[in-house]
Amino acid sequence: MFEAFTNYLKSEKHYSAYTVKSYLDCVRRFLAYAGLSETDDVTGVTATDVRSWVSSMLDSKLSARTANLKITALNCYFKFLLREGLVSSNPLQKVARPKMSKRLPAFFEANSLNNMLNNSTPNNDYATQRNMMVVELLYASGMRRAELIELKTHHTFFKENIIRVRGKGDKEREIPLLPSIMKKLKNYVSLLQETFPGSEHLFVTDKGKKLYPSAVNNIVQTVLSREGFSGKKSPHMLRHSFATHLLNNGADLNSIKEVLGHSSLAATQVYTHNSFEKLKKVYQEAHPRK
């Protein structure tokens, strides 16, 4: 049944290899907790069993966010079993999810990022140029790390100033880029083809292989640390920065939603909190009655 569930996640849900692996691992961990194996009948699993599992995760200091992700994976599994007629009900329907504290997306200051990107003069070797282009493109487009990794050289349209990405659910979208960014990207592609002729992927390792998630993380960490950025540094923070800076400069929420590839406006609205915090700060500093 695990093989059928795996095919379901890949073929019907169009989840990434990382997400598929994560879901399978979560389900296996629950089954092990319940004293079951992958081949055992799970019709006897109850909501109480699931609540006990959730409690054990929270007792082990797992965050509510991580616990909810694991619940989502298990819920997907039981919904699949229900569809296949292998269980008569989904015990997750009676399980309340742990409440998560609202966290505002962390982002970099616009001036700091722009000064770095405008004034950087990287060496002309491939690795250095690639690293700067990764940071530049993540911030210029707001794309996800996984989307950047899957970019192909033929996804760049220099005449139209757009780049095509394949996002969650295998959905394609086109992201407009500034001509200045496209010029840098065009120069980078030339260096890529010169260094690794015939490369299919837009970003590759020093050995010409497709980039992988931790490599992108390391690139972002290395570039931003070298340029004096302190604290947390991640590809997703560049995505947050992109959305927050667009909103602060007057872009409408629906447009940002489309560029980010969000399926609902609710996912994009979190960025309005950052803008509201900025508004409050400006008000408190500028109001004559302070």
Question: What residues are annotated to the active site?
Answer: 144, 168, 236, 239, 262, 271
Place of tokens 């849900």: 13
Q: How far is CA 277 from CA 105, 199, 239, 274, in A?
A: 12, 44, 19, 5
CA distance 136 to 118: 10
- Kindly list the distances between the CA atom of residue 145 and the CA atoms of 75, 135, 161, 213, in Å, as whole numbers in the listed order: 26, 11, 21, 7
**CA–CA separation, 244 vs 251, rounded Å?**
10
- Which H/E stretch holds residue 40? none
Give the up-direction half-sphere exposure of residue 264: CA atoms within 13 A in the CB hemisphere. 3
Residues near 6 by beta carbon (within 8 Å), at least 6 away in sequence: 20, 24
3-class state of residue 132 by DSSP: helix
Residue 257 identity:
K
What whole-number distance in Å separates Cα of residue 182 and Cα of residue 234? 23
Interatomic CA distance for residues 1 and 21, integer angstroms: 15
